[in-house]
Every structure is written in C-alpha cells, then in structure tokens.
Structure 1
C-alpha cells in the first residue's frame, strides 16, 4: 500500500461551522449502471439506460463494450426526460483492448462477455488492478470452455490477460471460491443466459461477502427475462442457476447510488443537521440502503417519503458494534463517523476489504491514527476508540471511499487536507462541488 506520487495536490476538507441543512441530488448507482450496460449489450434487442452514472468506472465499462462492437449512443430518453444511453447490441468481436482502470466491475464482468466475442480481447489496467484477484473468473471460464492467456508477467490469476473469444461458450456447471469478491459470482451470472448450456455457479469456500450485490444481479437478470434459480428461492445453498435464453432490451432508470449518499448522510449525523436525498427507492438491493439502520443506531433518525430520504442528526454520535460483511463498501465512511463518536466501535466481517481498491483496513488505520486516532486492525475488521483528532494530510491511495471518509472527518476536525480528492470521480463525479454545495459554500 503506497501513496501515489503523481497525485500530490491537497484539497482542504471544508470544516462545518454549524449544522448542515441541504438537499443533495446523488448521481446514479455505479453498480446498477454497469450491470445495466452489460445486460443491454448481451440483449437480443436495443435498450435504454436512463439517468446513468457518468463516472470513471462507468465510462470505462461503456468504452470497453464499444471496443467489442456494442453501440452505445449518448443523448436523451425517447420522451425527452433527461440523459440516457441507447445501447444497441451487435456481434461481439475482437481484436480489442479493454482498459479496466481499477474498476472491479469492468475487470470481472467483462471476461465472460469477451469469451462470447469473435476474436481476442486483451484486458489491462492501472497498476493496482494487477494486485486485485481475478482467479475466480479466470478459472471458472476455463472450466466452462474458454481459452485465456494470463500470467505472462509471472502473476497468474490477475491482469493483464487475454480472452480468446470463440463466438460462443458451452457453459454448464462450475465451482468457484468467491469469498474474496462476490463479483466472481455476478460476472458469471450476467453472461450466463448467453452460454449454450446456461450456467450453474456453485460457491465453495468461506462466507460470501456483499450478498446484496448478488441479489442486485439476480433481480436485474430477471427483469431482462432471464430465468434464475437462487438459494433464497428454495434452491441449494450457495448455488445459482441461469437458464440459457435471449435477454430482453430494457428501458431501465438507474437509482441514485445509495453508497455514494453515505458522506452526505454522515454530514447530517456528525453536525447534528439534516440532509435530504431525493428519489431514495422504497425497495432496493443496493447495499447503501443499510445506512438507514446503521446511522440511526449511531445517533440519527430518518424518514423515507415519496420525495426521498431525510436523515437528521441529533448532535450526538454513538459507537457501534456491527457486522458489515454484506455491505463492506460502507466501511470507510462508518469508520470515519466512528472516529468522531462518543464511545468505541467494532466493525466486523470485512477482511475482504484488504483486496479492494486499496487495503482499506490498513489505509483507514494509518490515516485516522495519523490524525490522532486510535484504530487497530482485527482479523476481519477494525476496532475504533474515539480520541480528539487534529488536522493533517489524509491520503487516499487512489481509493474514492478513502477520500470521502477523510472529508467526513474534516467536517468536525479543522485542518484536514485530502490528498488526491479527484479520485472520487471513480464513482462520484463533482464530489468537491456537491460537498461545498451541501455546506452552502
């Protein structure tokens, strides 16, 4: 875990002079946008993706699909209701090169798509992407009949790699260990309807993290006409089956990214203020919906109406003992709030965060402690004992959620400077402007 020397610009995190009172329009969900793009690209007919997120990760996904021959036209929806992408499926083809950046959804969801292409597709990305595990997808695709070249640099099971698409894939039954990333399961399910035999994915290993993301994948597949059998529907534990068949072109409206709403809700909690996020869905598979419960336990209250979610802080922030295994991406923001609480916190079930954009557990420990905190790593999480914090540089390690965690702390601690706040563009474009607008700056 190293600080990127190319991003040394420091952003003074705004300090809140009082309780915030704001309405924040959070951009669309990265997870929904990128799943929607993949499903639309594999469909039998064109579809629309309304209110898509335009961020680094989603633009990388769109560019990758275009490189493989998919038409993606940017404009407004058919009724003029706002920005939308028209996705026009076509014969997937290579040769092509895909830049995954450091996007887990791109590096894991697209190799199965590439196996369906006619020709070779090469995958490469940021230096950190070489360290992120891909073995679950690579090994599974080989077992299902794909030809993949990896390990040319002595690092098998990771980027860079080339998928030699044969125009189709047999599919069938496969066992994988997805304990390091639920995206291994989602990757195979998303392309499964296009495999000749469909796919049966059997997870073998320790507990699966981030289950809401798998439920999101299943719900979106079913909305496109796919038949999916799941453990929740009375099937075998840790087994998912997708029947082969055509996917329908959809007219999909992307929900706001609830995980990206986290720093704004945290601002209400930390300052004793009030923040409204419009269009918060009444039912969703997004992990960020858990913030309603978690932040309420930490001292706030929330009200969900047809207009959206309003979260109100009480002026007190309490510690929490919580299992975050299903919602690990929320850990950095929760850790930031916990560092400002009036009692200790234990965050459990997130050992897999050591394999995310950076080793998030080590990064949070180091950066909060360097501001005067008292954070210790456990086998599967963090223990946080609140202490008076002071200003200083908060490094991001090219991780968008580290940057927003530092901004949360900066609300209550003067003099915090965020290194490379621009990394938030990965999933939350214009974060500094949204943050300043919330504070009325």
Structure 2
C-alpha cells in the first residue's frame, strides 16, 4: 500500500501537445491474430502495459514467439500451440476472454486465473460457447482450464453478449482456425461497446479472413467467420483514444488547449466519441496538423447521453459532469458494473464523497451541480476510476487519488505525464 497521490490542481489554463501510447484494444487483438497467422507479423508502436504484457505472456505460454525487446516494434511468430501452460489474466478482460478460444487449438491443458477481482468478471458465456463448439473446458468461471486437442470443430453457437462485447470478439478472433469456422448469434439485450466488435471485424478482414457482419437492414445479431488461413500482417497501432479522455478533459476544466498527436481521421476506437461529447459540453474540438485539439472555455454544460456503445468513457465523462453548470444524465451503461469494478456504484460513491449530488440507476447516473471539496478518491484497482479522480483533482483542491499506479494497466507513465502537464 502507498499513500494516496495528491492530484495536482490546475491553477492556470493548460496548453500542451501530448503523445499517447498505443491502443490496448488494438495491440492485444494484433497479438492474438499474429499468433494465429500463417507467418510472422510486425506490430509497430504497440502499447507496453500490464494488460499487453499479460497477453504476451499468455501467447508465449501457448507456443507463439513474441520478440518485444524493442518498445517501438514487436515481432509475432506463430508457434505450434502445444504443451501445458498457465495463463495469468491479471485484470485484463481481453486475456481472460480472447485467449481461451486460442487455447482450444492447443494440444495441452491451459489453466487460467487472475487477480481476485477478475474472478468476479463474467466469462461463463465464452466457456459455454466453447463447449458448444467442441472444446473441453473445465469450470465455469476463473479459475478454469481448457484441454486442447489440436483442433476445434466450430460451427453455430448462440451467446448472450449483453454483458460484454468481448464475448463476440473472442470467438471471432479464433474462429477462422476452427474446422467449420464460427457462425455466432447473439440472443439477449443489445450488445454493448459495438465499436470494439467493429474493430475486431476490421482487423480480421485486414488479415484476409472472410467475415460476415451486421449491415443496415440485416440481422443485427449475427456474425460469421469462414474457416481459412489468417494471413500475416504488419501494422501500426493507433494512439489509445480512450486514454486521451483525461488529457482532453484537462483542457475542458482548465480552460486551456490540449492537442493529442496522431489522432486518426477514421478509426474504430470507442474513444473517438470524445470529439462529439466534448463539443456538446461546450468545448471547441478541431483536427489540426498535429492531431486533435480540444480547447475549453473554463465552463462545462451538462449532458444527457446514452453511452452504451462507449461505456469505457463513463468515468471521465462523469467527472466532467460533476464539474458542469447544469444536471447531466448518463444512460445505457448497466454493463459497466461488470468491468474492472462496478463502475456505476464506484462513481456514485466517490462523487458523493467529494460533495456531488448523484442518483444511481440500474443503467446510469444522474449528476447535479454542487460545490465539490477535497478528499480521498478510491480507484478500486480500476485505471478508469483513477482517470476520473485526477480530472476532478485538476479542478478541486486537495483531491487524493488512492493507488494512482493502477493506471499502469494501460498507461505506465500516466502519473508522471499528468503531473508535468498540470504543474507546468
């Protein structure tokens, strides 16, 4: 345990240009596809963080060769997927959900476990689906084991992916290597975070995989991956746009201007929704030569928004709403109760602890304007909760963020970069 971190207060408009590490979502998908490919792949500008290090360790355990000796370029060489292995999932949902479908192709027993809280995160739908597709799985939650036989039959499977879009992505990523591919149907409330599924589909197609995905007017709940090779692809990883949320929020709360370098003009990342959200809340948002620039006025408008597809942005948006001049309503995010922590309950508790007026609903939060004060902001080992805490600390004196190091999950240098920016 360490002492809570004094979140620096922004006493002046912060003007800066920042470079962010690569996307965790893109990096871990690229690693999985590289391990399943028909030749070596190069991943440039990958994210090196706890989640991606855990993915590297998991895929190495299954037999893939990954040379991550360079920060700027990793080479992934497919292996035999043979032998017994133990996978540490940590708190990485992508490891817990993306690796078991790959483990089904191995010829050994692969055991999975993770941090204590990871045992509470949903994975049963994936394990049940793998059984339907012909994989021998022992257990229905962490810890569990996959007994691979070197091949997976595949075929048709029905899942309820309303708790996590990763249930869909996990089966699609490995599906081309199954004898019959995968014909996946979702049966349940709408799938959250659909941009992440669209990211998976786009990357599979770049690897030459035939994918049928929902189109306007078609079946919105069916994805099909045809059996066939996964071709090797060299790719450059985009900056992590969700990790941009606290930095762009800093422009909003300080009345300054932050430019995030290399923001893509077109992307499947959920974080791209920040452009519209911040515009609605009163910021000026524009593409410039260096990337994306957000300029704040020093005041924030309230917002009424459905964040169902971009739930990972909720903590940062909720922090901004607590600083806004009018009430805000965040909806469609009941599924984030199953993220690194129950984010709705955590946000309601911590915002209330700093003086905010918050009403927690089954699928969202109502946040009313109120004077805020300092105090300890608990992170619940959740990097997005830490982001929310530092945003509030930039506008409110004496906010102490407990376990700011949890940001190392996706951004190891976060605290140092943040302190340097805010303190000038």
Report TM bin, short chain: over 0.9
Q: Does 1:132 pair with 2:126?
A: no
Q: Paired residue for 2:17? A: 23
Contact 1:172 1:200 in 2 (8 A): yes
Deviations 1:180-237 (A, max 9, x none): 0000000000001100010011000001100000000000000000010011276422
Alignment of 1:103 with 2:92, yes or no, is yes
Q: Does 1:91 align with 2:91?
A: no
CA distance in 2, matches of 1:105, 1:218: 16
Whole-Å separation in 2 of the counterparts to 1:146 and 1:74: 31
CA distance in 2 between counterparts of 1:37 and 1:21 reads 35
Per the TM alignment, residue 94 of structure 1 is displaced from its structure 2 partner at its CA by 2.5
* Per-residue deviation, 1:9: 2.4
Which of 267, 271, 275 in structure 2 is aligned with 1:292? Answer: 275
Structure 1 residue 12 corresponds to structure 2 residue 6: yes
| Match for residue 212 of structure 1 among 180, 186, 195 | 195
The reply to whether residue 50 of structure 1 matches residue 44 of structure 2 is yes
Aligned to 1:154: none
Q: CA separation in 2, counterparts of 1:68 and 1:379?
A: 40
TM-score (norm 2): 0.99
Is 1:166 paired with 2:160? no
List structure 1 segments (4+ residues) > 3 angstroms apart after TM superposition. Answer: none
**1:311/1:370 Cα in 2 relative to 1: closer, same or farther (>3 Å)?**
same
**For residues 200-239 of structure 1, what are the structure 2 equivalents within 5 Å?**
200-232=183-215, 235-239=218-222
Q: For residue 71 of structure 1, what is the aligned residue in structure 2?
A: 65
Contact 1:229 1:235 in 2 (8 A): no
Aligned equivalents of 2:163 and 2:60: distance in 1?
29
Number of paired residues? Answer: 424
C-alpha deviations, 1:63-122, integer Å up to 9, x for none?
11011111000245xxxxx71100010111221000000110000000000000111000
How far apart, CA to CA, are the structure 2 residues paired with 1:233 and 1:240?
14
Partner of 1:37: 31
Task: Measure how far apart 1:37 and its partner are.
Answer: 0.3
Aligned residue number for residue 184 of structure 1:
167
Preserved CA contact (<8 Å) 1:221 1:228: yes
Root mean square deviation, CA, Å: 1.0
Q: Tell me what 1:381 maps to.
A: 364
Match of 2:101 in 1: 112
1:367-378 equivalence runs, <5 A: 367-378=350-361
Describe the shift of the 1:50–1:44 C-alpha distance in structure 2 as closer, same or farther (beyond 3 A).
Answer: same
**1:285 offset after TM fit, Å?**
0.3
Secondary structure in 2 aligned to 1:393?
Answer: strand
Unaligned regions of 5+ residues in structure 1, if any? 1-6, 77-81, 151-156
Quick one: distance in 2 between partners of 1:236 and 1:300?
37
Distance, in Å, in 1 between the alignment partners of 2:122 and 2:10 is 39
Give the alignment of 1:235-254 within 5 angstroms.
235-254=218-237
Please give the secondary structure, in 1, of the residue aligned with 2:176.
helix
Report what 1:421 is aligned to: 404
2: CA distance between counterparts of 1:74 and 1:175? 37
Distance 1:249 1:28 in 2: 20
